[in-house]
Structure 1
Amino acid sequence: MGTGLYLYGIFPTPGPQQLEAQGLDKQPVHTHVLDGFTFLYSEAQQERYLASRRNLLDHEKVLEQAMHTGHRTLLPLQFGLIVEDWRTVTEQLTATQGPKLEQLFQKLDGRREVGVKIFWDAEAEVQALLAQDEQLRSERDRLEGKSLSMDEVIRIGQAIEQAVEARKQSIIQVFRSTLNPLASSALENDPLTEAMIYNAAYLIAWDDEAAFSEKVEALDLQFEGRLRIRYNNFTAPYNFAQLAN
């Protein structure tokens, strides 16, 4: 027996009439029109869903299937949202946030989210820096000696760290200046790993993805294998579907 309604996302009406999709716990996915919005949901089989890889993928797959069927304007809801009944949705969301939901639909209409993550080899960057900067290299070589004070060791270490940071920022600036003009909105998130130096999401016109992809490929060539770029050309627009307070 279900324990409530598991919500995946919201469409402007009419939204999809039916979807051949399975949601969490292999439950059939349905749509429900409420207060001028179309909700994507399935019957919740648990009181709370763990954010396991499988559950997260099942959630994402439902959203992507809906978008692939042509219903591109979609407000994805965060994983794990279970409500008791539709009256709860009215009270907690549509009655209070209706105008903001409409504004978000206008922002997302005809657009899609893509993502770019950049990784580098920090040690290789340090070596390349020292090969190019003779003064810094000689400073670093002084660290091999035994007579340096702690202040000198710290100063040389900071000089190398600042130079590496400058290399990183120069790479990031190239990506910003190349890709940001193609997007109606861009959002930079925190890097997820030590090797990741940039993590950005872009909201672009749906039909501009091929041109955007070409720019990403050109950047990959420009840096000649120095970077590893992960490009996601199709995802539900989580980064641009946040309700403002």
Structure 2
Amino acid sequence: MVDTTSATGKYLYGIINCGEERSFTTPGIHEVGSLVYTIPFKQVAAVVSDSPLQEYDSTRRNMLAHTRVLEMVMREFTILPVCFGIVAPDARTVREQLLGEGYEQLVTQLKEMECRIELGLKAFWIADDIFREIAEQSEEIRELRDRITGLPSEQTYYQRIKLGEMVEAEVNQRRERDSATILAQLEPLAHEVRIHPPLTDRMVLNAAFLIDRAREEAFDQAIRELDAAMGQRLLFKYVGPVPPYNFVTIKADWSSRERTAALR
């Protein structure tokens, strides 16, 4: 963390439907664990805690503190999460610039997110070496691999490039097929879906689903059915409910006096 000033600002967590002052038991992000409370404006409020006007590093400790507050608040309220690390200079700025100027849009967003939750799913191939598995199952790839095995790399440079391209193409085709199978089961249950790029070679799907809370049990059951059908080949990591990080973004740049609160 780098202190920019000794003044006290307001660290922002999220926006909720609340027209009154409230406090929450979860401590805030700074070392002192400041009280988390609301700054209301009409029928919406910002969830904040007192904080030095400083930049927060994206450490595990800081990220967990930010997330804990959001998860505590969402037990009681629909919440629009604010991006990590945003500190407003004072309560007046929060009330007038963030809540006041963006009021109508925030009300609309809160209505759109009402009774909805985000669930996350990551799927991985279980095979320790997916490339070896592909080589064993693809005659063309296996033959080329065997043909150049043991030969000097300088003599097989272009063949090795071709082999890598063939393996990559097969991996992508398998990923597309497995992802399509998973999404065919889950997309009909979701209001919106966000697909992110795979983070590792073994990752098949990295997705976030915005669903109606009333469909959570049906979604859970669909995950169980996928695991029963594909669990010998795939490992599923399923998380949630969490605030709708992937479907709402609220950013603020107080230095340039630019504020955005946009549904994406």
Band of TM-score, shorter chain: 0.7 to 0.9
Matched, 1:185 2:184: no
| Shift in CA distance, 135/15, structure 1 to aligned 2, threshold 3 Å | farther
Contact 1:114/1:204 (8 A) holds in 2: yes
CA distance in 2, matches of 1:138, 1:196: 26
The alpha carbon displacement at 1:125 in A equals 2.4
Match of 1:117 among 110, 118, 122: 122
Matched, 1:142 2:142: no
The alpha carbon displacement at 1:91 in A equals 4.6
| Shift in CA distance, 52/92, structure 1 to aligned 2, threshold 3 Å | same
Query: Which residue of structure 1 lines up, in the alignment, with residue 166 of structure 2?
Result: 159
Match of 2:56 among 29, 49, 52: 49
CA RMSD, aligned part only? 2.5
Query: Which residue of structure 2 lines up, in the alignment, with residue 4 of structure 1?
Result: 9
Gaps spanning 5+ residues in structure 1: where?
Answer: none
Matched, 1:222 2:256: no
Match of 1:196 among 203, 209, 214: 203
Q: State how many pairs are aligned.
A: 243
Higher helix share: 1
Gaps spanning 5+ residues in structure 2: where?
Answer: 1-5, 250-261
The alpha carbon displacement at 1:48 in A equals 2.7
Higher strand share: 2
| Percent of paired sites with the same residue | 32
CA distance in 2, matches of 1:208, 1:16: 32
Superposition misfits of 4+ residues, deviation over 6 angstroms: none
Q: Structure 2: which amino acid aligns with 1:104?
A: Q
Matched, 1:62 2:69: yes
CA distance in 1, matches of 2:122, 2:21: 32
SS in 1 for 2:117: strand
Query: Which residue of structure 2 lines up, in the alignment, with residue 88 of structure 1?
Result: 93
Matched, 1:176 2:183: yes
Structure 2 length-normalised TM:
0.82
Query: Which residue of structure 2 lines up, in the alignment, with residue 237 of structure 1?
Result: 244
Query: Which residue of structure 2 lines up, in the alignment, with residue 20 of structure 1?
Result: 25
SS in 2 for 1:44: strand
